[in-house]
Chains A and B, each alone.
Chain A
């Protein structure tokens, strides 16, 4: 019945025209379809695809009329392309909502996305490339009763593939967020150059607890699990002229779950950022400490779905594929680290800057485990089992998880030639990607990227990447790599590219090539791209959240369109 109403509504809109002026409102939409054909390839480990053809499609339709907005998103995974969870198989309206603004209130019913602060205790979001969708289904109210005061309240459950979430015991999420922009709230601060805002939030997840048992020293025990898991956070942002400083501290109550192995210890997270920026110079530093902050709306869930919170990554997110070969995944059980970014533009018409100036970027990040000590002698054996460890907040753990130092130089040599050069040295602890027991990976990575404008409407881009490492640990760390790419663009509408990733230094002596050729074009708001080639097995991470990408060999096509 619900689907029928949605379909009839869409048909009414569609039959009356498109884009604008429908029932006094406006309809907009977008469409994306990814298609894949892959065949078995024993050299790269690509599996035969029984269905031969796989596709993921997403269609969004929004109707806006003044303060009212409603929308649906239709998704079809027929069947899911490689690397996406098989539980996505199927099609249907994954998302539907209606929202309106009246007076100082904004009310949304149905599906919605929301984030409190940095997301340390609550973030509902979608990341299509990771196959991650934590959309809430319920009610959200945002109130702005006074200038500078924002209050948010949410209640609902999270999406879990196509599961009927209201028929499951998945946790019910309730929460609120308060944000005070002091300079807007208090007239005497209105003209101050120092801008301050403070905020606080809380989240509570209710999940019924089924009996759980463990055996200790041949005695059976029932574990009494908390059913209401609470978390709170406090934050502030301060900016003064070119300086800014922000901090958020979060604390989570007892939350024994499958990820933290039934640890009853309270969770903690601290996220600090500071920055300075002026023309030609930008400096930012970030620091983070996480202790037992896995937070799911189902305590037995271990995958990416049903994450209630988000723990931001403080390592550089790379776009070049060899730079991103050993990506760092946030260790939700405990990590502490820091990152520094410096961007400097050497002025034009100087010896180093040349005629067009030179952009220099420096980035350093280092992530460690947190300090973990066994509980003191006064604690019982049972408490050691359930609370597991003590941790000194300011003490760094012994295990290095990840370290990277990288430099990037952007240089324009002429109006037609623009280049980027990068160097990165990465130290990667395999334990951070679940490969416990392997030695560290140390990698030197070089990138040279140049774009040459051939004519007013066409350009040629060449890219060369080199990764050097002695790590050869089977199928996930496979020695040296070289990648070359050549891409031709015509008028911003057509492009063609060829590339090859060459794994020339792997342990088995296979000189494996991952070649790829692609062509694409854009017509107005529609873009079509088709590529043929091999994709290596690896891990894709976005913001510290990762998914495995299996090897494939075949055709990949994408259509995107909007109206």
Chain B
């Protein structure tokens, strides 16, 4: 009897597993057009000459230690003017809005995805150029200074020259000149995002609740993530020009932008498609 039961159990489990274990993508959904590339261009205003580092501060308004991490990031920005780019990625359960923070939601779909992809389980945490070391990506904020210093020394193989301008309608147009300085033998992906600073809101800070906390470098929605830049080897001396646009979301009145564009900047970073490591990053203020 037991054996018969086991047999039936095995058959049922096998059948169920078979049914649930196969993804089927509808023929019409296999290819999704990518919205973001444009033929419009704007003048290049920021040129790149040195190796820069991207520090991603994984944070959330209800994370009590996150302000300390933000202060560490601010100190590092003073230490590395023009060569360190800080991006505050509001993600994890600590960033989930509630009535306490007046339902302000800084989360982005891709921020949540990065948290999953890079194995980040809580806040504060960080990524320094998305380098996998010792089998892990996240870097605790106490180690940010060391890792930033170390990764600042990496070989400079790519320049990202930038220009960005709000078209007065609903788009930020970004022109990018990617100059390959040394042969790169892996495919690259490019990311174009908007960061907004000087946003006043609610933040837990230790045991306190700061209702006038200033959020800086906040990663905003509508970014262009992991767009292909190269598919294979790229020779030294190659220049790849790209023009993108980012849609600016509007408030319910449909007149004023949701973001304060005076406090926004555009950050562009290029990654190794195989290892996910950031090759170079640059930022530009809106014209």
Contact = CB atoms under 8 A, between A and B. Distances in A.
A537 to B, nearest CB: 27
A204 B18 CA distance: 8
B33 A146 contact: no
A123 B189 CA distance: 36
A143 B5 CA distance: 13
Contacts of B28: 382-383
A5 B71 CA distance: 47
Interface in B6-44: 6-7, 10-11, 13-14, 17-18, 21-25, 27-34, 37
Contacts of B247: none
A371 to B, nearest CB: 21
A131 B44 CA distance: 53
Given A178-B11, A202-B18, A264 B4 contact: no
B251 interface: no
A125 B22 CA distance: 24
Interface residues of B, number: 30
> Which one of B11, B22, B32, B226 has the greatest number of beta carbons of chain A within 10 Å?
B22
B215 interface: no
Interface stretch (A82-90, A107-115, A225-233, A486-494): A225-233
Contacts of A533: none
A228 B28 CA distance: 19
Contacts, number: 105
B81 interface: no
A213 to B, nearest CB: 4
B80 to A, nearest CB: 30
A210 B24 CA distance: 17
A254 B24 CA distance: 6
Contacts of A264: 25, 27, 30
A324 B46 CA distance: 64
B168 interface: no
B23 A229 contact: yes
A146 B14 contact: no
A220 interface: yes
B14 A178 contact: yes
Contacts of A227: 23
A204 B7 CA distance: 21
A113 B135 CA distance: 28
Given A143-B6, A178-B10, A210-B273, A219 B33 contact: yes
A213 B14 contact: no
Interface residues of A, number: 39
B23 A211 contact: no
A542 interface: no
A525 interface: no
B33 A221 contact: yes
Given A145-B3, A202-B17, A211-B226, A167 B25 contact: no
Given A167-B135, A210-B273, A224 B32 contact: yes
Interface of A is mostly: strand
Nearest to A230: B22
A229 B22 CA distance: 5
B227 interface: yes
B4 A224 contact: no
A143 B34 contact: no
A387 B23 CA distance: 16
Interface string A172-187: 0010101000000000
A213 B187 CA distance: 12
Contacts of B226: 210-211
A145 B18 CA distance: 21
Given A149-B7, A202-B17, A220-B37, A386 B31 contact: yes
B206 interface: no
Contact of B25 (A145, A146, A226, A385): A226
A253 B17 contact: no
B21 A145 contact: no
A249 B17 CA distance: 19
Interface string B255-287: 000000000000000000100000000000000
A203 to B, nearest CB: 8
Interface of A: 104, 143, 145-146, 149, 151, 153, 167, 174, 176, 178, 202, 204, 210-211, 213-214, 216, 219-230, 232, 253-254, 264, 382-383, 385-387
10 contacts: A149-B7, A153-B14, A176-B17, A220-B227, A225-B25, A226-B22, A227-B23, A253-B22, A254-B25, A264-B27
